[in-house]
Amino acid sequence: MSETGPSDDPALFARRLLRRRGRGGLATNMRGAPYASLVLFVADLDASPLLLLSDLAQHSRNIAFDPRISLLVDATEGHADPLAGPRLTLIGRAEAVDDPRRLARFTAYHPTSVAYSGFADFRLYRATVERGHFVAGFGRIHWIEGRDLLFADDSSRLAAAEPEILRHMNEDHADAIADYARHLLGRPVDGWQMTGIDPEGIDLRCGAEIARLDFPTPVLTPEAARLALVQLAEKARG
């Protein structure tokens, strides 16, 4: 997943796991009974999960009754013994938000959601993270407080610039994105697009396949992001 391992910084490793995933198991309270469902999410710039849910879905009705949730993020694929692979369970609350910037981030990451994101019965939720239970592998288990798991520095300038950065990169620098995929990710297939940028890296998509590249150090401004993207391009060109 990265050169940084869970023993070095469990919170960072857990946050990187969260940023690399787009679906998880959502647990809600169905008036006294536990209810689990499959949901799509995207990590916001601070890594708080964003979910686009229909009011008609059972989990949405459960949240209206009790906003407490748990979200399981599974990264165990490829392990002969899945229980030896990493996963993260988040505990917190789901809060409905009317935020065009966050909705645009969700639909960019999950482009099929554009077809229903404007429906009156769909609502965007932000999950506030109170704690995280991170299992990095057999015997490597960490409880992480929300304030440590989330990215704390002010990234508001980068958040405001994200749509323009994505437009610019996808329209004017498709060759650089192709180089990222080909030389940094080992994916030679054409058609990759940049779907998100946050202080710690960028998200890419080609069809149903998603991928991520981490920055060596966090970026908080459009100027710093531009420099980081140029450095990635130079690294890709070797």
Fold annotation for 156-237: Split barrel-like (3.20.180)
136 phi and psi, to 5 degrees?
A: -85, -10
Radius of gyration of the chain (CA): 18
- What pLDDT digit, counting tens, does each position of 38-75 carry? 999 999 999 999 999 999 999 999 999 999 999 999 99
Concatenating the DSSP letter of every residue in the chain gives --SS-TTT-HHHHHHHHHHT--EEEEEEEETTEEEEEEEE-EE-TT--EEEEEETTSHHHHHHHH--EEEEEEE--TT-SSGGGS-EEEEEEEEEE---HHHHHHHHHHSGGGGGTTTSTTEEEEEEEEEEEEEEEETTEEEEEEHHHHS--S--HHHHHHHHHHHHHHHHH-HHHHHHIIIIIS----S--EEEEEETTEEEEEETTEEEEEE-SS---SHHHHHHHHHHHHHHHH-
Q: Does 207 score more than 90 pLDDT? A: yes
Position 93 pLDDT exceeds 60: yes
Q: Does residue 4 have a pLDDT over 50?
A: no
pLDDT digits (tens, 9 = 90+) for 128-155: 999 999 999 878 899 999 999 999 999 9
Residue 79 has pLDDT above 90, yes or no: no
Cβ contact 105:42 at 8 Å? yes
Overall average pLDDT of the 31-44 stretch: 98
CA angle 181, 105, 101 (to 5 degrees): 145
pLDDT at 221 over 70: yes
d(CA 166, CA 30): 39
Is 97 within 8 Å of 122 (Cβ atoms)? no
Is residue 2 predicted with pLDDT exceeding 70?
no
CATH H-level superfamily of 10-149 = Electron Transport, Fmn-binding Protein; Chain A (2.30.110.10)
Tell me the domain boundaries of the chain: 10-149, 156-237
Q: What is the pLDDT of residue 217?
A: 96
pLDDT of 83 reads 87
